[in-house]
Amino acid sequence: MRQSTHYAHGRPWIPRADIYETKESVTIVLDLPGVNAEQIDVQCENGLLSIKGERSFTGNDSERQYHRVENMYGTFERYFEIPKTVDSQNVEAIYKDGVLSVVLPKIQKAAPQKITIHFN
């Protein structure tokens, strides 16, 4: 039972994402199993967060005879609009166990300031 695998690698794919918000930040979590951290590019520009990368197919081995390849391989791209309440200069990306977490801290609002009234 041999199945062709040419469709499974080299074709763009879209990693799944969860997005949640706390008082301090907005966090985007992407499942990227099998992707090397060096293959991931995260950028903030013009109100847009882009996450790009590639998961390489390493199964081109003459000793292996694949019966099924269900994982997606190749390049991926995801784009997220950045809320105006986020400090895009201090974004943090953490990659652990095949999961990328991008933490977008919220802008710290200035405390109310007492304005002194001057009178003559």
pLDDT of 67 reads 87
Extract the tokens encoding 93. Answer: 């990306």
Cβ burial of 56 (10 Å; 0-12, 13-18, 19+) is: middle
For the chain, residues with pLDDT lower than 50 are: 1-8
pLDDT of 8 reads 47
Nearest to 32 by CA among 79, 97, 91: 97
pLDDT of 3 reads 36
Q: DSSP assignment, residue 110?
A: P
The pTM of the full predicted model, rounded to 2 decimals, is 0.77
The structural domains of the chain, with segments of one domain joined by +, span 17-105
pLDDT of 11 reads 67
CA gap 46, 100 in Å, rounded: 22
C-alpha 62: how far from chain center = 34
pLDDT of 6 reads 39
pLDDT of 115 reads 81
pLDDT in tens, 80-110: 999 988 999 999 999 999 999 999 999 987 5
CA gap 13, 70 in Å, rounded: 12
CATH class of 17-105: mainly beta
